[in-house]
Amino acid sequence: MASRNALIFASLAIVTLGSAAACQQSSLSGPRSIDRRTYGETSNGEAVDLYTMGNANGVEVQITNYGGIVVSISAPDRSGASADIVLGHDAIEGYEKDSPYFGAIVGRYGNRIANGQFTLDGATHRLARNNGQNHLHGGLKGFDKAVWQMSEREDPNGLAVELRYRSKDGEEGYPGNVDATVTYTLTEQNELRIDYAATTDKPTVVNLTNHSYFNLAGHAQEDILGHELMIDADRFTPVDEGLIPTGELRPVDGTPFDFRTPTPIGARINEKDQQLAFGTGYDHNYVLNGKAGSLRLVAQVREPRSGRVLEVLTTEPGVQFYSGNFLDGTIRGKGAKAYGPRAGFCLETQHFPDSPNKPTFPTTLLRPGQQYWTTTVYRFSTDRSS
Ligand code: BGC
């Protein structure tokens, strides 16, 4: 396991900008602010809203109830200048038409299920096959394309937006009505905390995650290959050509997958390696060290020029590190920016891909009467010493 000392780049130093105070104040007092406004309409004519939450340190987060998408995260760099550090679109139309899950809540099952099927209690369930012969990220219309109910909540930890969605029995082939609740909290510690909860009325599988693409230099900057990444994982789950895990838990030691000490993402991405070839770069699940179920630091990323640092904490056993390999410049996002190869990276905290077909992996089974819950925290800071 990587030494924890190696994980600390520098002490946190976020400057107070107070820009968030420009947002309309609601019932919440102090420099924190929350504002709800109309975001637009889906192509089906459903109205969707946008919440803007700001904290006292100048961190601002926008969330829409279309897909529960994190539309923007503005955070200061080491000299106090703010930038939006997630890829996305300016308007709802972009997210509907052309989005590889930018910022979205992914479900009912994040990541792939081989051949789009699994067997549970003797019954085989056939799911939508939307990634070659496999099922990916909940199917053709997953949680990322649903319109969620959304409300604000005052929380002791900070401002919170709560999203609720009922995924109906049979949706995309999954059994059982699933009631999902996802709460985004912006804390005064500059964290975006995501609490996922779900219940079901029939046995089913659940694996929820968030698919934000980060570029800590700013969404409109070039690629993320210079970002220094640490992942606290001794092993990863190698895949076949279709990106389905083989079932092996392979040590990262001596491979380009070893991020136990901070290493630039681009340092080894072009090495001759079968796993990198299958993923066209990094597109792999890491077996996180530490105890799943307890919230622990699992990853850290530093962008050297801006000094922005992202830390990821989670209760999950795995994280998909995706280096934005399939972005090819054809998607024009915010401000008409063409997002080219590796314009952003994702750290999708999760259970392992294809767990419903892999009895040796931690289970994703949810039965009636059981409560699904997981927590992930994205914490923002800079490397400027205080
Ligand atoms: C997957 C990639 C996929 C991307 C966008 C990631 O979570 O691992 O293979 O291309 O999502 O769909």
More confident residue, 80 or 13: 80
Check whether 4 has a pLDDT greater than 60.
no
Residue whose CA is at the smallest distance from ligand 1 atom 12: 100
**CB 262, CB 4: distance < 8 Å:** no
Check whether 3 has a pLDDT greater than 80.
no
Strands 191-200, 228-231: pairing kind: unpaired
Mean pLDDT of 167-191: 98
Check whether 12 has a pLDDT greater than 80.
no
Hey, which of 241, 280, 326, 345 would you mutate to test ligand 1's pocket, going by the most ligand atoms within 8 Å of its Cβ? 326
pLDDT band at 31 (very low <50, low <70, confident <90, very high): confident
More confident residue, 30 or 43: 43
pLDDT band at 380 (very low <50, low <70, confident <90, very high): very high
Among the options 135, 211, 219, 351, which is catalytic? Answer: 211
Please state, in angstroms and rounded to a whole number, the distance separating the CA atoms of residues 188 and 132.
Answer: 43
What is the structure's pLDDT at 154? 76
| Distances, alpha carbon 55 to alpha carbons 33, 63, 81, 182, 377, in Å | 7, 15, 15, 20, 16
Instruction: Show Cβ contacts of residue 5 under 8 Å, excluding neighbours closer than 6 positions.
Output: none
Please state, in angstroms and rounded to a whole number, the distance separating the CA atoms of residues 112 and 239.
Answer: 11
> Among positive and negative, which fits the CA dihedral 150, 154, 156, 158?
positive
**CB 1, CB 260: distance < 8 Å:** yes
Hey, which of 244, 280, 283, 320 would you mutate to test ligand 1's pocket, going by the most ligand atoms within 8 Å of its Cβ? 283
**CB 72, CB 34: distance < 8 Å:** no
Among the options 227, 228, 348, 351, which is catalytic? Answer: 348
Please state, in angstroms and rounded to a whole number, the distance separating the CA atoms of residues 235 and 281.
Answer: 17
- According to DSSP, the residues that pair with 310 across neighbouring strands are 301, 380
Output the CA 213–ligand 1 centroid distance in Å. 11
* % of the chain beyond a pLDDT of 70: 92
**CB 17, CB 82: distance < 8 Å:** yes
Q: Which residues line ligand 1 (CB under 6 A)?
A: 100-101, 243, 283, 320, 322, 326, 348
Residue whose CA is at the smallest distance from ligand 1 atom 10: 326
* Cα 57 from chain centroid (whole Å): 23
What is the structure's pLDDT at 32? 85
Check whether 215 has a pLDDT greater than 90.
yes
Strands 135-136, 191-200: pairing kind: unpaired
Check whether 23 has a pLDDT greater than 60.
no
Mean pLDDT of 39-48: 97
Residue 348 bears catalytic tag: yes
DSSP state of 49: E
Hey, which of 87, 131, 135, 137 would you mutate to test ligand 1's pocket, going by the most ligand atoms within 8 Å of its Cβ? 137
What is the structure's pLDDT at 330? 97
Mean pLDDT of 197-207: 98
Please state, in angstroms and rounded to a whole number, the distance separating the CA atoms of residues 143 and 28.
Answer: 30
Q: Quick one: which atom of ligand 1 is closest to the CA of 353?
A: 8
Q: DSSP for 59-97?
A: -EEEEESBTT-EEEEEEE-TTS-EEE-B---SSHHHHHH
Nearest to 196 by CA among 371, 380, 59, 379: 371
What is the structure's pLDDT at 211? 98
> Model confidence over 291-331: pLDDT tens digits?
999 999 999 999 999 999 999 999 999 999 999 999 999 99
More confident residue, 5 or 110: 110
Please state, in angstroms and rounded to a whole number, the distance separating the CA atoms of residues 86 and 55.
Answer: 18
> Model confidence over 59-106: pLDDT tens digits?
999 999 999 999 999 999 999 999 999 999 999 999 999 999 999 999
pLDDT band at 29 (very low <50, low <70, confident <90, very high): very low
Mean pLDDT of 197-221: 98
More confident residue, 13 or 163: 163
Tokens of 80: 């106090």
Residue with tokens 């909540």: 153
Tell whether domain 2-383 is in CATH 3.40.50.300: no
Residue with tokens 């995501």: 194
Residue whose CA is at the smallest distance from ligand 1 atom 8: 283
Tokens of 291: 């105890």
pLDDT band at 19 (very low <50, low <70, confident <90, very high): very low
Q: Quick one: which atom of ligand 1 is closest to the CA of 111?
A: 7
What is the structure's pLDDT at 122? 97
Q: H/E element holding 287?
A: strand 283-288
Q: Is 137 exposed, middle or buried (0-12, 13-18, 19+ CB in 10 A)?
A: buried
Check whether 16 has a pLDDT greater than 70.
no
Output the CA 137–ligand 1 centroid distance in Å. 8
Q: Quick one: which atom of ligand 1 is closest to the CA of 325?
A: 10
Mean pLDDT of 175-179: 98
Q: Quick one: which atom of ligand 1 is closest to the CA of 283?
A: 8
Instruction: Kindly list the domain boundaries of the chain, sorted by start residue.
Output: 2-383
Residue whose CA is at the smallest distance from ligand 1 atom 5: 100
Output the CA 55–ligand 1 centroid distance in Å. 31
DSSP state of 356: G
Hey, which of 98, 101, 102, 207 would you mutate to test ligand 1's pocket, going by the most ligand atoms within 8 Å of its Cβ? 101
Q: Quick one: which atom of ligand 1 is closest to the CA of 348?
A: 7
Please state, in angstroms and rounded to a whole number, the distance separating the CA atoms of residues 75 and 82.
Answer: 5
Instruction: Supply the mean pLDDT for the chain.
Output: 92
* Cα 2 from chain centroid (whole Å): 23
Mean pLDDT of 245-251: 98
Burial string for 325-353 (b: 16+ CB within 10 Å, else e) reads bebeeebebbeebebebbbbbbbbbbbbb
**CB 226, CB 256: distance < 8 Å:** no
